[in-house]
Amino acid sequence: MSKKIESVNYGLEKIFDGAQDFLPLLGTDYVELYVGNAKQAAHFYKSAFGFQSLAYKGLETGSKDTVSYVLVQDKIRLVLTSPLNSKSKVNDHIVKHGDGVKVIALWVEDARAAYEETTKRGAKSFLEPTVEKDENGEVVKAGIYTYGETVHMFVERKNFKGTFLPGYKIWESDFKPEPVGLKFIDHMVGNVGWNEMNTWVKWYEDVMGFVNFLSFDDKQIHTEYSALMSKVMSNGNGRIKFPINEPAEGIKKSQIEEYLDFYEGAGVQHIAVSTDDIIKTVSDLRARGVEFLSVPPDEYYRAVPGRLEEFSHELREDLERLKSLGIMVDADEEGYLLQIFTKPVQDRPTLFFEIIQRMGAKGFGAGNFKALFESIEREQALRGTLDKS
């Protein structure tokens, strides 16, 4: 596999020189998953991933159709939502997609402007600007659809002093497992259908004002059996990064096809979360039962020193330790990065998590793609979804 990454342009600030960013984004506000049993999912994300209880909305707060548990770890907020009856629309989403990401909420200064700027550029509306109020102030929310049934919700919270959003109460819990050191969302990856990647790249460019700053084609991302293509989109200030994958033809079925089959459409493939100490984070996660993809083979780790040397970087971590935990290493001109991927976090082989520690590198682990995908293919073989049927 080629190590060359084409069309790299990290100078995002230069791209916006002289041009106004019509959709200024302050960061990721929250990620909402629709799940079959939010109460149990919340327990899983607390006990296994070290999230803490933050806020709650349900029958006790007057929410008759849905229940939501909000969890927090440093800057990451996860919302887990389940329906409370058969009429809730959340059911349709779960029946079709299984558990998965419904909303990637983006923190904005002005939600009405964000909605207007994106819908006038062609975004399909999910929620018109809506003011939600309680005794802690007000929040303006507005939502647009992106790929599949996934939604970007713009959240304006400058006039709100509460814990999460109006309508939620503080969720006090005596069960407070230690956090595992997850800091913030580094990127979130979407899987889209055949020949749809460029459509969505253009959508993010035109509708959201994002730029495509990294591209990988099927000649760069492939194993002996399968292939995919990926383009990384970033907003103007570089805080929000959305790589978009589509499957490519191979001898066998790629993991993207498997995802599309089981999610029954486009959706979020993985959430990459950042840590400052991946050895501790992954040790803790493993001890709590989080399952990761299989450890890459010995020859992978034998090649790591050479890859770092190529870019004159010195590995600060103990390579044997990284190997024992299955953490992968990639390097580019600016530094290196450490990363590892969980197995899917629900029964359908769809959403999973990535744990990433950046040591200067701004890429996405292109040098690890082959080892990673071979590892996923071993899992696919066990599921009987590697062979084309």
Q: Can you give the binding site for Fe ion, defined by CB under 5 A? A: 272, 354
* Nearest-approach distance from CB 219 to Fe ion, in angstroms: 20
354 vs 377, beta carbon nearer Fe ion = 354
* Nearest-approach distance from CB 354 to Fe ion, in angstroms: 5
Of all residues in the shown chain, the one whose CB is closest to Fe ion is 272
* Nearest-approach distance from CB 388 to Fe ion, in angstroms: 26
* Nearest-approach distance from CB 248 to Fe ion, in angstroms: 18
23 vs 272, beta carbon nearer Fe ion = 272
Cβ(304)–Cβ(253) under 8 Å?
no
Q: Is 61 helix (H, G, I), strand (E, B) or coil?
A: helix
Measured distance CA(127)–CA(130) in Å, rounded: 7
Q: What's the Cα-to-Cα distance from 220 to each of 6, 340, 370, rounded to whole Å?
A: 10, 20, 9
Cβ(149)–Cβ(172) under 8 Å?
no
Cβ(141)–Cβ(129) under 8 Å?
yes
154 vs 364, beta carbon nearer Fe ion = 364
Q: Report the 10 Å Cβ neighbour count for 319.
A: 15
* Nearest-approach distance from CB 365 to Fe ion, in angstroms: 7
Measured distance CA(43)–CA(23) in Å, rounded: 36
139 vs 273, beta carbon nearer Fe ion = 273
* Nearest-approach distance from CB 179 to Fe ion, in angstroms: 21
Q: What's the Cα-to-Cα distance from 70 to each of 41, 78, 93, 165, 291, rounded to whole Å?
A: 11, 6, 19, 10, 23
117 vs 258, beta carbon nearer Fe ion = 258
DSSP 8-state symbol, 160: B
Give the DSSP H or E segment for 97.
helix 90-97
Number of residues written out for the chain: 389
Cβ(208)–Cβ(239) under 8 Å?
no
354 vs 374, beta carbon nearer Fe ion = 354
* Nearest-approach distance from CB 148 to Fe ion, in angstroms: 18
142 vs 244, beta carbon nearer Fe ion = 244
Strands 241-248 and 124-134: unpaired
106 vs 355, beta carbon nearer Fe ion = 355
Cβ(72)–Cβ(171) under 8 Å?
no
Strands 137-145 and 151-156: antiparallel
* Nearest-approach distance from CB 244 to Fe ion, in angstroms: 12
Cβ(126)–Cβ(145) under 8 Å?
yes
